[in-house]
Structure 1
Amino acid sequence: MNRSRMPLVAAGLAVAAGLATVAALTGPVAAEPNSDASTPAASVTTDQVVTWGASADRTGGSFTDQTVRNIVHTSIGGKNLRISLSNVFGDRIVTFDSVHVGLQSTGAAVVPGSNRQVTFAGSTSVTVPNGAEVLSDPLPGDVPGDTNLTVSIHVRGASGTLTGHNLAMQTNYVSAAGDHAADVDGTAFTQQATRWYWVDALVVDAPQQVDTVATLGDSITDGYGSTRDANRRWPNYLARRIADQPPAHQFAIMNEGISGNRVLTDGAGVNVQARFDRDVLSQPDVRTVILMEGINDIGGGVATSADQLISAYRILIARAHADQTCILGATLTPFEGAGYYSPAKEAIREQVNTWIRTSGEFDGVIDFDQVTRDPANPKRFLPAYDVGDHLHPSDAGYEAMANAVDLRQLECTR
């Protein structure tokens, strides 16, 4: 199993996973200069894991001397929060001269006393070249699990082309001109946004036995059609199931779905083969990846045979295994009634699913098709699980998908 691929420094501190207290993020962990390294607290070994992630993509619009307040939802709790900011799709160098993180109160407001400044190599300002990303210094203190955080970023001057995530399923906020990252009230944030901007991962220290699970896919993993601001994507439901497990069997969950994404060619976002390293293999402590992608290739006519997708899956499997990372294959859910459905395309989907189930090439199989289809018409979603477009699940459908994951498979070892 691969360990901590990003350039992070282990802090050697215990984690209070899932601490949902207002006191979290309000102050640094007190130093203990006279502590004995032989004491249990000092001997705990930690790793970095991704408690929240969203794949970077090119987004529309631009900002000039404005502050964005992103609302993100943690999976597992931890310590020593680090913020990853991405300018991968930018067309110029950008400078972020004020970055703060706090606990969301309501809307754009932050819980008083929780909004703290983030630094980069000791500086409150960081300049990021186009095509690059940067990781902050650790912010001492506890980070609560299953909680909304605010990540507020002020850009100096003009941003140019924005890097972000287009389908947040979360209301975010943009200010009028000026640096409002430190503001506790939300009055300066006069615009709402349905995208996340610049922030692409939150990293925390967790006990060594805790690893990261990456969910990789398209709009169904991204959570299209789920209730906005409610965190009801299937990876969210999965994270809540995992949080109920004993500490030795817990995982951080990162969501690397991109709505409209494809396996074989670029569509919305670069294709999954091109982004596999950046979005999965380079992230901290990824033990297992769950791959569910291909329906857009089939529906859009890019994949004209099952063999094309199978060949691409084999490449991804080989790359994961070369990196000592497990990869689980998830079957493609029904889509009869969707705008790009045809009987010929359905035949390809069924052939792909048969291969996923029977080839034995993935490290495990999650049968999302079986749990979401209508027994009376297996080519369609069960009506209660259909958001209405016959392609995407409802909240109940996303929950059923999460419940179909055998949690023991996440502990796969290579």
Structure 2
Amino acid sequence: MTAGRARLRRTAALLLLAAAFQTGPAHAQSRAATQVKSLDDPKAVVTWGASADRLGDGVADRSYRLIVHTSVAGSGTRVRLSNAFGDRPLTFDSVYAGVRQAGAALVPGSNRRLTFDGARSVTVPAGEVAYSDPLPGRLPAATDLVVSIHTPDAAGPATGHGMAMQTSYATQGDHTGEEGAGSWTDTTGSWYYLDSVSVRPGAGIGAVVALGDSITDGWASTTDQNRRWPDYLARRLQSARTTVKGVADEGISGNKVLADGAGQSALNRLQRDVLSQPGVRTVFLFEGVNDLKAHSGVTAQDLIAGYREIIDRAHAAGKCVVGSTIGPFKGWPEWDPAAEAVRQEVNQFIRTSGEPDAVTDFDHILRSPYDQERMLPFFDGGDHIHPNDKGMAAMADAVDLKSLDCAR
């Protein structure tokens, strides 16, 4: 195909996306909710998510143009804005959603204002979230959705996701309604205030949420290419015969199961980041290497107790749990035989206890056959703990899709 014809096809595809994501005012059908409440819409399913954390201090009269990549397709697009770590109410006086053309530029005609209970602005109390009203029209799968927000009075702790592995944009003043890229001169590698997007995909469709650390967050994958292992999993699910189509990546770099630090612990953020997301059928639990390599005295039994609490709480909420073994990390500076012994004991529990509803053995997929304490060099992102793009793809390929299509 010639370069000219390829460009024409790409332009036509973008225009189709824009047409699918246009027209009409949104209806006021939602209200502000606390950070741990689920969206009151039984038809909604999360199509994108990122864990909330503290991101320094907020800046007044600042706009953010946030690029996120959807998983499942659907109508009635809603965004969730978070003030989970704020210490005062935060107002969003202008919020738009559109389809990206390139960089900070949107497909012409796709940018539409979001409302909150029919109002153009919303004030979110400290520690809470707000859901937008649903937009009419259909949002396709695997779309670069652009959410533009303006905060006139931001101050104090800001909420967001630090390591996005995605370039987004920022500017002073309110430029949220503009579709061109001219005003968006600053770039950021974080997502501010936005922590999930949901759609209505149709009856019987559900989602999986990946609860994890920097490996799930995508460190060592290629920035701006959506090559985290949950991204590869989302692509598999779209073409598979399964009713699980939505994927939310709730990884935080440096996160632990038991202790706060890099984000709240998995135990402390489980309700907000995972169980409150709409349409979740399965929790994919892949976390623990930061607990054991920190040499803080955490034993295998401590970590197993943390897993059990997550499994029990997920089951109580009607969700299935797929547990994954902890991958090899020999060669990382904090590796030592004591941490390795804990890893092996924990992995034995995951493989044989029967307490998760299913198991994915990432350790088996990633380890070298010549030194099973070390990652296979072909998958190694360079630091001996984080997989590269090939490793991320191999992890996603190892997931039994039938294990995600689960009901309790």
Task: Give the structure-2-normalised TM-score.
Answer: 0.91
- TM superposition shift of 1:46: 7.3
Structure 1 counterpart of 2:188, from 189, 193, 197: 193
Task: Say whether the 8 Å CA contact 2:206–2:243 is kept in structure 1.
Answer: no
- 1:167 is paired with a residue of what secondary structure? coil
Task: Say whether the 8 Å CA contact 1:20–1:147 is kept in structure 2.
Answer: no
* % identity of equivalent residues: 51
Q: How does 1:274-353 map to 2 (within 5 A)?
A: 274-353=268-347
Distance 1:329 1:303 in 2: 23
- TM superposition shift of 1:20: 6.7
Per the alignment, residue 105 of structure 1 pairs with 101
Structure 2 counterpart of 1:241, from 236, 244, 252: 236
Q: Give deviations 1:249-283, integer Å, cap 9, x for gaps.
A: 34200111111100111010000001111111122
Find out whether 1:120 has 2:112 as its counterpart.
Answer: no
Structure 1 residues 130 and 187, CA gap change in structure 2 (3 angstroms):
same
- 2:269 is paired with a residue of what secondary structure? helix
Structure 1 counterpart of 2:18, from 17, 22, 32: 22
Task: Say whether the 8 Å CA contact 2:78–2:199 is kept in structure 1.
Answer: yes
Per the alignment, residue 390 of structure 1 pairs with 384
- 1:288 is paired with a residue of what secondary structure? strand
Structure 1 residues 183 and 303, CA gap change in structure 2 (3 angstroms):
farther
Per the alignment, residue 41 of structure 1 pairs with none
Task: Say whether the 8 Å CA contact 2:26–2:135 is kept in structure 1.
Answer: no
Distance 2:384 2:187 in 1: 29
Aligned length: 381
- TM superposition shift of 1:324: 1.4
Distance 2:16 2:354 in 1: 41
Structure 2 counterpart of 1:228, from 223, 226, 251: 223
5+ long unaligned stretches in structure 2: 1-14, 28-40
Task: Give the structure-1-normalised TM-score.
Answer: 0.89
- TM superposition shift of 1:187: 1.4
Q: Which amino acid is 2:342 matched to?
A: I
- TM superposition shift of 1:22: 3.2
Task: Say whether the 8 Å CA contact 1:220–1:393 is kept in structure 2.
Answer: yes
Find out whether 1:178 has 2:169 as its counterpart.
Answer: no
- TM superposition shift of 1:50: 0.2
Q: CA RMSD in A?
A: 1.7
- 1:67 is paired with a residue of what secondary structure? strand
Q: 4+ runs of 1 displaced by more than 3 Å?
A: 28-31
5+ long unaligned stretches in structure 1: 1-18, 32-44
Distance 2:296 2:177 in 1: 47
Find out whether 1:153 has 2:157 as its counterpart.
Answer: no
- 1:256 is paired with a residue of what secondary structure? strand
Per the alignment, residue 132 of structure 1 pairs with 128
Structure 2 counterpart of 1:203, from 198, 203, 209: 198
Distance 2:317 2:92 in 1: 33
Structure 1 counterpart of 2:351, from 346, 349, 357: 357
Distance 1:231 1:310 in 2: 31
Task: Say whether the 8 Å CA contact 1:214–1:289 is kept in structure 2.
Answer: yes
- 2:321 is paired with a residue of what secondary structure? strand
- 1:315 is paired with a residue of what secondary structure? helix
Per the alignment, residue 9 of structure 1 pairs with none
